[in-house]
């Protein structure tokens, strides 16, 4: 659908047209679901947050001034809800005095390089390393690498400049490269 078509749908939805809004849900549901899943890593929370994203967007739709694209706006809602959930989880984990890192990350950190004998294992370690990135870097990485957004689009979603997105991507990659270096070397040597 072109931008004009989407703008008309948004306009109709702002007037209370449920069919128009449902069309927008159809358009973005999968991308929003996958984006949220990258943060929550479980389907129950993702399902709740994705529904909450679309319901909240509908309730707030009258306040949407269409200065940015609808997708930018709804991504921001999804990211904010995801960040809130992560903060809540972190508080709960602190309360339980549990390990801060996710189980997958612990595994990646504790195992030696000899354990990573294939690209498949590198992939697992990469997933864990992405999960452990600081959230600002992680959100940029998820939007650009997994969602395929340009730096400009990611900048609008994250509320920062394109230069900042470029910097965050650079730093995210440096962290990943640094954490995965022994395993990367092993795989590149095998190639």
Q: Which residues bind another protein (CB under 8 A)?
A: 16, 18, 21-22, 25-26, 29-30, 33-34, 37, 47, 50-51, 54-55, 58-59, 90, 119, 122-123, 126-127, 130, 134-136, 144-146, 150-151, 158-164, 166-171, 173-174, 176-177, 180-181, 184-185, 187-188
CB of 164 to another protein, least distance (A): 5
3-state secondary structure 20-56: HHHHHHHHHHHHHHHHHHHHHCCHHHHHHHHHHHHHH
CB of 73 to another protein, least distance (A): 14
List the structure tokens of 86: 């992560």
CB of 23 to another protein, least distance (A): 10
- Quote the CA–CA distance of 20 and 126 in Å, as a whole number: 39
Cβ-based neighbour number of residue 14 at 10 Å: 16
| 166 CB-contact burial (10 Å; exposed 0-12 / middle 13-18 / buried 19+) | middle
- Quote the CA–CA distance of 112 and 12 in Å, as a whole number: 57
CB of 114 to another protein, least distance (A): 19
Report long-range pairs for 14-18 (Cβ below 8 Å, ≥24 apart).
14/61, 14/62, 14/64
Beta carbon nearer to another protein, 4 or 103: 103
Beta carbon nearer to another protein, 4 or 96: 96
CB of 107 to another protein, least distance (A): 16
- Please tell me what DSSP assigns to residue 155: H
Q: Is 177 helix (H, G, I), strand (E, B) or coil?
A: helix
């Amino acid at each position: 659908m072109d931008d004009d078509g989407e703008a008309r749908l948004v306009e109709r939805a702002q007037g209370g047209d449920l069919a128009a809004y449902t069309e927008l849900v159809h358009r973005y549901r999968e991308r929003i679901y996958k984006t949220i899943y990258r943060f929550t890593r479980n389907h129950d929370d993702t399902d709740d947050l994705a529904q909450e994203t679309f319901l909240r967007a509908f309730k707030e739709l009258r306040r949407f001034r269409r200065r940015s694209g609808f997708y930018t706006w709804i991504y921001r809602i999804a990211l904010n809800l995801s960040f809130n959930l992560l903060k809540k989880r972190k508080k709960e984990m602190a309360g339980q005095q549990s390990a801060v890192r996710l189980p997958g990350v612990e595994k990646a950190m504790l195992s030696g390089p000899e354990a990573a004998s294939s690209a498949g294992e590198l992939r697992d370690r990469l997933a864990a390393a992405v999960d452990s990135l600081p959230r600002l870097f992680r959100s940029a990485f998820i939007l650009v690498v997994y969602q395929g957004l340009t730096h400009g689009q990611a900048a609008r979603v994250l509320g920062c400049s394109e230069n900042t997105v470029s910097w965050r991507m650079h730093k995210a990659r440096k962290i990943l490269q640094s954490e995965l270096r022994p395993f990367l070397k092993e795989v590149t040597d095998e190639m």
